[in-house]
Chain A
């Protein structure tokens, strides 16, 4: 599906969030838009709430104030979420009691070609998650959400645990796939070089978050 170049794909409207009532605000009045065809990088120091924002945008958490606008409407709670999040801990994102093949096919049937490009070995399908390294698991976590129903991908530090060659390989695939399918992309990273290489726009998180300190 192709979107018009100028239309707003994803919008965070005045989002404020805190984990509990008695804890301080993590996010305050965040306004943030991603237009169709844009690839945005979100950079900022550790612990500043980037991952929390990512969770809110992908529907894992509900903002206390404000809302996430997706394609002009509210993000629905049920059914397949068009915004998918890939986290920084692949070993936590897979069920240790499932074999890799089942994990990979949880929501769609990836093609051979894609798996090959991701560097996923067919012999891994029968293994348990504990028998693969973090980097190998991460490829599964990425491949399983690249399905046709995913319209927007949030990559939260997905390549931190990988060596440079694998990083390049995986980003190559992700970039190619998002371009081909017209997927939006939000990359959260500490690596400025990576952000410049991949994204069309870089957003400083501290400018977004209006916390009164």
Chain B
């Protein structure tokens, strides 16, 4: 009896509650987009003097005029971090867009055409996943001459395999469906069928994939830059900042690592949260929770 009442009550709460899955998802997406836009706009319009060298102001701990402190050359860490993160975000957006389109095209082509194309795509996926990810990133970035271009190409070229697999699996599910077969018999070409039947089917999983790819791309950009195979040291980038701060952390200059790290973490977690919520909302099994 009491269990029944509890059940009824909790269901009522769910129905009346403000935070349903849809609201939560929109909130996360909104938060993530606002954060990224703020950083991007701030970073683009920023005059380089804001994070210029000033040897008179070395190693200042966080205070009102320098909220994130300054580094060993007297550069303001607040502006430098923002500029760095905006660089990283640009890389992340471009790389995840390129990677995901790549994945969409390959996954759909493999599943729709089958046969040798499918085997070739699977072979490429295995090949790409077989090499340690960071290693591949470093190799490609190094080959492309490092810098922004190298990082971007490296990150864009290495993030497609997982999404390709997901897209392929999703298309395979409906490839032999009766309505797809009927569509072929009604004289539709495979391109038309791909566009009208397959793409709408994979779109939810694809969108979630893109959103979850984005933090991955930023993290990897920061990682290879940190290891010294990405941006050159004079470019403000989160990876550069973090790797420089490692030299000073032992001497108690904690702010050089903590604040840029937190900024990066916030971007990654916001997008991860948005992606996870989107996943739960778009999955028919949990969409009505």
- A residues apposed to B, CB below 8 Å: 58-60, 78-81, 84-85, 87, 89, 92-95, 97, 106-107, 145, 149
Q: A95-B197, A97-B200, A97-B201 are in contact. Are A59 and B185 (CB under 8 A)?
A: yes
Is the pair A93, B201 in contact by a Cβ cutoff of 8 Å? Answer: no
Name the contact of A93 in the complex, choosing from B178, B187, B200 (C-beta under 8 A).
B178
Q: Does the CB pair A93–B182 fall under 8 Å?
A: yes
B168-185 CB contacts (< 8 Å) to partner A: 177-183, 185
Whether A106 and B201, one on each chain, are in contact in the complex, defined by CB atoms closer than 8 angstroms, is no
Cβ distance B202 to chain A, nearest Cβ, rounded Å: 11
Question: Which single residue of chain B is at the shortest CB-CB distance from A79?
Answer: B187
Binding site for A on B (CB under 8 A): 177-183, 185-188, 197, 200-201
List 11 other contacts, CB 8 Å, given A60-B181, A80-B187: A60-B185, A79-B187, A80-B185, A80-B186, A87-B178, A89-B178, A92-B177, A94-B179, A95-B179, A95-B197, A149-B187
What chain A residues lie within 8 Å of B201 (beta carbons)? Answer: 97
In terms of DSSP, what is the predominant structure of the interface of chain B? helix
In the bound complex, CA of A60 to CA of B178 (Å):
10
Query: Which residues of chain B come closer than 8 Å to A107, judged between CB atoms?
Result: 186-187
Report 5 cross-chain contacts, Cβ distance below 8 Å, ordered by A residue: A78-B187, A81-B185, A92-B177, A95-B180, A106-B188
Q: Which of B182, B183, B185 has the most CB of A within 10 A?
A: B182
Question: CB-CB < 8 A to B200: which residues of A?
Answer: 97
Q: A95-B197, A97-B200, A97-B201 are in contact. Are A106 and B177 (CB under 8 A)?
A: no
- The CA of A8 and the CA of B188, in the complex, are separated in Å by 28
B185–A85 touching, CB < 8 Å: yes
7 tightest A-B contacts by CB?
A: A80-B187, A107-B186, A92-B178, A81-B185, A79-B187, A93-B178, A95-B179
The residue of chain B having its C-beta at the shortest distance from the C-beta of A144 within the complex is: B186
Shortest B124–chain A CB gap in Å is: 29
Say what secondary structure dominates the interface of chain A.
loop
Contact A58 B177 (CB under 8 A): no
Can you name the residue of chain B whose Cβ is closest to the Cβ of A77? B184
Which residue in B179, B185, B186, B187 is a CB contact (below 8 Å) of A92?
B179
Cβ-defined contact, A58 with B179, below 8 A: no
Q: Which residue of B lies closest to A59 (CB)?
A: B185
Q: Is the CB of A58 within 8 A of B197?
A: no
Instruction: List residues of chain B with CB within 8 A of the CB of A58.
Output: 185
Q: Please name the residue on chain B nearest to A150 by beta carbon.
A: B186
- Of chain A, the residue at the smallest CB distance from B189 is A78
Q: Complex formed: what's the CA distance from A92 to B181 in Å?
A: 11
CA distance A97 to B174 in the complex (A): 12
Measured between alpha carbons, how far is A94 from B188 in the docked complex, in Å? Answer: 15
Contacts of B197 in A (CB 8 A): 95
B203 to chain A, nearest CB (A): 9
Residues from chain A with a CB closer than 8 A to the CB of B186 are: 80-81, 84, 106-107, 145
Q: Which residues of B contact A92 (CB under 8 A)?
A: 177-179
Give, as a whole number of angstroms, the nearest-CB distance from A92 to chain B.
Answer: 4
Q: What's the least CB distance linking A31 to chain B, in Å?
A: 24
Contact A93 B185 (CB under 8 A): no
Question: When A95-B197, A97-B200, A97-B201 are in contact, do A84 and B179 touch as well, CB less than 8 Å?
Answer: no
Contact across chains for B183 and A106 when beta carbons are under 8 A apart: yes
How far, in Å, is A110 (CB) from chain B's closest CB?
14
